[in-house]
Amino acid sequence: MLEIRGAAGRVATQLLITVLVAPFVFPLWSMLQGSLAGDGLGNYSSVLGLPQLPAFFRNSLLIAVCTVVLVYASTMLASFALAKLPFVGKEVLFYVLLLALTMPSAALTVPLFITVQRLGLLDSFVAVILPLTALAIPLNVLLARGFIAALPDELFEAARLDGCGTLRTFWHLVLPLIRPISAVVVVWTFVGAWNEYLLPLLFLQSPTNQTITQLPQFFSTQYGSDQTKIIAGAVIITLPTVIVYLALQKLFERGLTAGAIK
Amino acid sequence: MKTVALTRHRHEQSTLTQHRAGRAAKGSAPHGPRRNNVAGYLYVAPAVLVVVGIVYFAIVYTLRISVLDWDGLSPDPVAVGLDNYVRLVEDAVFWRSLGHMAMFALAVLVQMALGLGFAILLHSGVRAKTLYKVLLFLPVVLAPAVMAPVFRQIFDADGELNTMLRAVGLDALAHPWLADPSTALYALITINVWQWTGFSFVLYYAGLTQVDASLIEAARIDGAGNWRVISSLLIPLTRGTTVTLAILGVIGTIKTFDIPYLVTGGGPARSTEVLATYLYQQGITDFHVGYGAALTVVLMIMSLVLTVSQVRRFKLGSEA
């Protein structure tokens, strides 16, 4: 888009972008370096040797997978109905869902903490999964409904002529056709749930029930001021996310543009 | 004609079950009489139940608690009317936390400018484009909670930032960034910009892909230089993306919690407190549940105002 003249210009541009990107890489580089200070790789073996570590990962995975399943199922069913089925009051229901579009999880802390305590659900994963699901549904319905609405009505008419009920239509027609948007819903819901800090902090209190976002604090109590091990822990927690992102890079970007550009 | 007849036949047959009739009315005759497909309610029910059961419940319950003086445990909370809200209006920490959020929101402009700059540069024949894209976007997917200790170390009095400053002879600038109330907020905002610039970048990058190359060519023929192309073509043509990013940026601002809570804990001297950290401290840590609820109401109002402005956009836009 810019006109860059000559080899010198091209080299200068390349240099400029490298210099500008460097500060964005710096924290990652600093993280790697910090994790190797002191005991070197010993920091890693010490962190990996913690008996609690697998449980943290398992809990995060469990919460993220359950959230994805619930969000996916409820979002797609609702989006299909809101896009293609006629029923009275559907606009109202759509706006009922959208109300939570920008609700931050911090806004749920006080009311839900009291409620969860009263229901005796403290320290149970449900207390994290359900609020995460509720907060993720609106945006995903917005995305998926728009996508399904854009599918040609003729397809649905043909399915109906073939004697397909709504459930079969949903299963055999809608689900295969919405794969592109499904991938987006799944990936971003997973990332959101995996990275969530506040809700697990609030509701999961016993050490065996914590999630990976609680690890840095857990390490602080384990290692006190030994910052290098805490940073090594951060690298270990970050690594799966980085790998998944690198593997699905295109998908992540497509998700953003699908969601934000019309 | 045959198809039409068939459709009608089918249509009549299927009125046996309301279920099918709904589909027929929908598929073939969008302008015909609208039928009510009861199945629709069943499909929407799970989503509505979860959202209403959690979010709507939370809103109503928060309003209820916000007129109480309560520690969250005692069986008989005291009703105090609007006292919590009066206290809120007089609470300097509350207003300061709003001011800090405004600063976070303003910094979104920095993110957007950087994002647009990177997008334009990477559209200009730079080598190893994917590498730069990946490096810029990586912070977006990393958990802020996990990066917090890394940033605490970088901004520490003996941290990497000061080491670098000293290495290039800028000793005078070296500073305990997070321990000084006058710089801590800016350090946190820097972390935020670090995390979200990749997001702006990806959206602008996609937006620029849709710019018609012949427009730029025509401008060049008319003698436009690079700055002219950016200011008169690229910036106006990506206006939609700019608006989207501005709104998403404000939404992100009201969600800010992890970074202040974990990097500075809202301190030193409340200099990095935002509404979310303050209500957490009041409502959860200090058991001032009533007051925490009043603070929550403010956060909820912000969110609802944003949502309404968003929904308007979707109504006006092509999304049907």
Structure confidence by residue, pLDDT tens digits, B74-102: 888 888 889 999 999 999 999 999 999 99
**Contact residues, B window 27-46, toward A, CB-based 8 Å cutoff:** 27-28, 30, 34-41, 43-44, 46
Residues of B in contact with A146 (CB under 8 A): 319-320
Q: Which helix (H) or strand (E) holds B78?
A: strand B78-79
What is residue B21's predicted lDDT score, i.e. its pLDDT? 40
pLDDT band at B5 (very low <50, low <70, confident <90, very high): very low
Contact at CB, B240 and A261, closer than 8 angstroms: yes
Task: Give the confidence band of B110 by pLDDT, cuts at 50, 70, 90.
Answer: very high
Question: CB contact, 8 Å: B113 with chain A?
Answer: no
Residue B22, pLDDT above cutoff 50: no
pLDDT of A260 reads: 53
- Chain B nearest-CA residue for A216: B146
Question: What are the structural domains of chain A?
Answer: 37-260 (1.10.3720.10)
pLDDT of residue B113: 95
Record: contact B36-A87, CB cut-off 8 A: yes
State the helix-helix crossing angle for A126-149 and B39-51, rounded to 10 degrees: 140
For residue A8, count CB atoms less than 10 angstroms from its CB and return exposed for 0-12, middle for 13-18, buried for 19 or more: exposed
* Cα A104 to Cα A141: distance, rounded to the nearest angstrom: 17
Per-residue pLDDT tens over the stretch B190-226: 999 999 999 999 999 988 988 888 888 888 888 888 8
Query: How would you write the pLDDT of chain A (262 residues) with one tens digit per residue?
Result: 787 778 888 888 899 999 999 999 999 998 988 888 888 888 888 888 888 888 999 999 999 999 999 999 999 999 999 998 888 888 899 989 988 888 998 989 989 998 998 898 888 999 999 999 999 999 899 889 988 988 888 888 888 888 888 888 899 888 998 888 888 888 889 988 999 999 999 899 888 888 988 888 888 877 777 788 888 888 988 888 888 888 888 877 776 666 554 3
Put simply, the answer to whether B47 touches A242 (Cβ < 8 Å) is: no
Chain A: residue whose CA lies nearest to B47: A74
Whether pTM exceeds 0.90: no
Q: How far is A205 from chain B (nearest CA, A)?
A: 13
In this complex, do A109 and B148 lie within 8 Å of one another by their Cβ atoms?
Answer: no
- Average pLDDT score over residue span B161-177: 86
Residues of B whose CB is below 8 A from A246? 134
Check residue B32 and give its pLDDT. 37
**Cβ count within 10 A of residue A225:** 6
A1 and B303 within 8 Å at the Cβ level: the answer is no
Predicted pLDDT of residue A6? 80
Set of chain B residues whose Cβ sits within 8 Å of the Cβ of A211: none
pLDDT > 90 in chain B, percent = 43
Banded pLDDT at B122 (limits 50, 70, 90) = very high
Q: Higher pLDDT residue, B28 or B234?
A: B234
Cβ separation A101–B289 shorter than 8 A: no
User: pLDDT at position B228, please?
Assistant: 87
Report the first-to-last Cα separation within chain A, whole angstroms: 22
Q: Which of A235, A140, A145, A142 is nearest to A188 (CA)?
A: A140
B184-209 vs B92-122: helix crossing angle, rounded to 10: 40
Domains of chain B: 1-37 (no CATH), 90-316 (1.10.3720.10)
Task: Decide if pLDDT at B24 tops 70.
Answer: no
Q: What residues in A contact B199, CB-CB < 8 Å?
A: 256
Nearest to A166 among B23, B258, B306 (CB): B23
Q: CA neighbours within 13 Å on the CB side: how many for B173?
A: 11
Among A31-45, B133-147, B182-196, the minimum mean pLDDT is found in A31-45
Mean pLDDT estimate for chain B: 83
Q: Taking a contact as any Cβ pair under 8 Å apart, which residues of chain B between 73 and 102 contact chain A? A: none
The per-residue pLDDT for B314 is: 62
pLDDT of A258 reads: 63
Measured between alpha carbons, how far is B278 from B242 in angstroms, rounded to an integer? 31
- Tell me if ipTM is over 0.85: yes
With 0-12 CB in 10 A as exposed, 13-18 as middle and 19+ as buried, what is A6?
exposed
Cα end-to-end distance, chain B, whole Å: 31
Pairwise CB contact (< 8 Å): A16 & B121 = yes
Which B residues in the span 243-272 are in contact with A, Cβ-Cβ below 8 Å? 244-245, 248, 251, 254-255, 257-258, 261-262
Quote the tokens at residue B4. 């039409």
In this prediction, residues B22-40 reach a mean pLDDT of: 54
Q: Which letter does DSSP use for residue B221 in this model?
A: H
User: Which residues 145-174 of A have a C-beta within 8 angstroms of B?
Assistant: 146, 149, 153-154, 156-157, 160-161, 165-167, 169-170
Establish if A41 touches chain B: CB-CB under 8 angstroms: no
Percent of chain B with pLDDT over 70: 87
pLDDT tens-digit map of B258-269: 999 999 988 898
pLDDT of residue B91: 93
Which one of A16, A71, A85, A94 makes the best mutation probe of the B interface by having the most chain B beta carbons within 10 Å? A85
The position carrying tokens 């979002």 is A75
